[in-house]
Structure formats: structure tokens, C-alpha cells
Chain A
Amino acid sequence: MSAPEMIALALLSFLLSLLLSRIIAEKIRSPRFMGLDVHKPDRPSIPKVGGIAFTAGYSLAMLVHWMLVGGTTELVLLVSPLAAAAIGFLEDLRELNPILKPLLLLLPGVPIILLSAYNPYPFIPLIGGIRITLIYPLLVLAAYTVVANAVNSVDVLNGSLALSVLPVLLLLAGISWLEGALSPMLACLILSAALLGFLRYNWYPAKIFSGNVGSNLVAAVITTVAITARVEVVALVALLPHILNEFLIIVSMGGLKSGKSLTARPIRVVSGMIVSSQRIDDPITFVRLITSQRPMGEAAVSKSMALLSAYSSALALLTYLLGEVTLSWAR
């Protein structure tokens, strides 16, 4: 596929996402699709399924790409994220059991295994190539549920989802290109373009939320790219803020629990500013840690999360370069 065709697909994704975000922001008023923006003084009710906009943008562009190019990698880059988005949409409609949800999120990995779109010889920087033919398919299934929960855990403020994953997607696009994996690279660029369209309506003060439909799609695209471009460890490092955030929440809450069932909150909102909780027993999250030193505005916290993500992406690039050093030693 030529560069102008790739740019055209990214543009298509951006425009469709922008248009649908606007339609969702203006037209959707059904109570089952609305959520409260609890970080605003007047707690406005806004559409919580805005992720449909960039899911549609990404899916249409990837469908066109698959129809033009064909191939197994291209198919799983379309199907697995769509399956994850469908599970997210189900969760947006009704609260899922916190144990059932991770199990359902194993499903997006199934197409990769059935179509053998993976290579069970991952390259680990500083160690080299390892052969894990039996364990790798299990890791594929687990990766979707871990990354989906991790990405979902940072989707708590206006703009935080898009801003925190854009550095990761751009890094993975660059490294996929270096590795010669052009379809994973294109998937990252198409999703980045779609997220920019969505961000226009999700930035502070947001008119739409992403919802689980959006965060699951983003997580599944990143996971599928990591597997098909064989950059698993690099993606793990780039997602360190997201994974650390989810890990801290689970450990500090004492297991997998629904956020809505908890009375303890990591932050409070005072006069429009986010203030971290002073109680040791309350859940530990990145937002709580960011606001520990001083109260901050919502947009400033989202920008801080993006900065952390950009930093971890730089470390991921360093990890990739360490892998190149390992390769040269092995030679």
C-alpha cells in the first residue's frame, strides 16, 4: 500500500470519528447511554458511548485496508478490536460482574489463535528469542484482558484516554515500521487519527465520554499490534503507566471489584479542583498520586498523564534499542 493511500485511510478515519462524535454529542439523550461527569461542580449528564465514533472510524478504514490488501494480520487487526469493542458496549449497557468481565475479554484473542496470526518465538530484549509454543497462546488470551483493564483504568478524566494512548500508538507505529510490519503500523496511525477526531469532543469540558466500547477497542488494537509486529516487551514498557495504575488499584482495593460498589474514593473534587485522598486505606491510583502534592484542574491532570505516557514510550524506545544491541551480540 502506498503512502498516499495510507494517508487517505487515516484521513477517512479522522473525519468519520469527528463527524460521529459530533452526532453523538448532539443527538444522544437516552438515559441508558448517558453518564455523569462527576468531576464538574454541576455534575452534567453526557453521552458515555462516544467510543463508538472512533471505533467506527478505525473499523471502516481497516475494513477498506483489508479489502485492498487481504491477509491474516489485516483481518485480526480488524476483528479482534471489534470483538473487544462489542464486549465494552455490552458493559456500557449493563454492569458486568467484575469476575465475568476479564473472562469475556479473553475472547478477542481467540481469532489470533484460530488464524495462527502469532509467532510463538517472541524476542525479549537482553535475553533474545525464546521458544514458548505452549504458553504463548495462553499469554495472547491473557494479554487482552490485562491491557483492556489497564487502559480502562486511566479513562477517568476528560481527554485522559486519548492523550495517554497517543504516545504509545505513535511509538508502536514507528517501531512497527522499523520492523517492516506495515499493517500494524497503519492500524496505529488510523487509530491515532480517529482518536484526534474524538478528542475534539472529549477534551475538557467533555461533551462525550469514550465508555468501555472505546477503551476496549484501543486496548485491543495495541495488543494486536504488539503480537503481530512482535514488539510485546516494547508495548509492555510503553504501557507501564496504565498497567501500574491498574495493578495499584487491584492491590490497594484487595482484588477485582466494581468501582461503583466502593465507597472509598482516591480523590475528591473541591471547587472544581481534584484533591487526592488523605486516607491511607483509600485506593491508590495515578490520579491520586499526581494530585498528592497539590490540588490540580482536570485538564492539567490529563496533561500530566500524557506526559507520563510519553516518558514511558521513550523508555520503550530505549528498550527496543537494547533489543537491537542484544541482536548484534548474538550475531
Chain B
Amino acid sequence: MLIALITVAWASLVAVLITISAFILPLAHGIETRLLASLTRLGLSLILFAVWLVWLFELALYASLKLSRGRRSE
């Protein structure tokens, strides 16, 4: 179960990096002002990382509850 948790955590981190690379960076290139473009990149990237952290916690909570229930039913 924990191997799956780490795999999903890693795969979602790679997904975050791909999203930043494929969508956020090209999107910010379209913005004229350099400072605004940098702030947009930074802001969107940080939001994505925050979403990733929340996702990790929910995943671990789910794993913890599922394992506990499995043991109780034995």
C-alpha cells in the first residue's frame, strides 16, 4: 500500500512538472510585461504544488482509513 502511495505521489509530481512545462510556461510567455509573466508563472506553479500537497494528504488519509477498516473486518 505504501509503495502505491509513494508511486502515486511521484507520478503526480511528474504530472505537476509536465503541466508547468507544457501549459503554464507557454501561457506566461503570452503576457507582455516581464514582471507580470514571472509572477504568473510563480503563482500558478505554487498553486499547483499546493494542490499536489493537499492531494498527497487526502491520499494518505484514504490509505490509513482503508487499512484500518480492512483490519477491523478480519
Those of B1-60 within 8 Å (CB) of chain A: 1-3, 5-7, 9-10, 13-14, 17-18, 20-21, 25, 42, 53, 56-57, 60
Which B residues touch A230, using CB under 8 A?
none
Contact of A315 among B1, B10, B17 (CB under 8 A): B10
The CA of A159 and the CA of B71, in the complex, are separated in Å by 27
| A294→B3 contact, CB < 8 A | no
Please give, as numbers and ranges, the residues of chain A lying within 8 Å of B72 by CB-CB distance: 278
**Neighbouring B residues of A278 by C-beta, 8 Å:** 68, 71-72
For the complex, give the distance between the alpha carbons of A251 and B60 in Å.
11
Q: Which residues of B contact A247 (CB under 8 A)?
A: 53, 56-57
* Residue pair A322, B14 in contact (C-beta under 8 Å): yes
- Is A297 located at the chain interface by the 8 A CB criterion? no
Q: Is the CB of A311 within 8 A of B14?
A: no
Identify the closest chain B residue to A241 (Cβ): B6
Evaluate contact between A127 and B20: CB separation under 8 angstroms.
yes
Smallest beta-carbon distance B57→chain A, Å? 5
A-side binding surface: helix, strand, loop or mixed?
helix
Contact A289/B60 with A126-B14, A127-B21 known, Cβ cut-off 8 Å: yes
Question: Is the CB–CB distance between B6 and A311 below 8 Å?
Answer: yes
With contacts A247-B57, A280-B65, A284-B64 known, is A124 near B6, CB below 8 A?
no
Contact check, B3 vs A240: say whether CB atoms are below 8 A apart.
no
CB nearest neighbor in A for B15 = A126
Interface hits, A123-176 → B, CB 8 Å: 124-128, 135
A251–B57 touching, CB < 8 Å: yes
Q: Does A212 contact B (CB under 8 A)?
A: no
Q: What residues of B have a CB within 8 angstroms of the CB of A286 in the complex?
A: 2
- CA A27 to CA B25, docked complex, whole Å: 59
A308–B57 alpha-carbon span in the complex (Å): 18
A289–B18 CB distance below 8 A: no
Residues of A within 8 A of B (CB): 124-128, 135, 237, 240-241, 244, 247-248, 251-252, 276, 278, 280, 284, 286, 288-290, 292-294, 304, 308, 311-312, 315, 319, 322
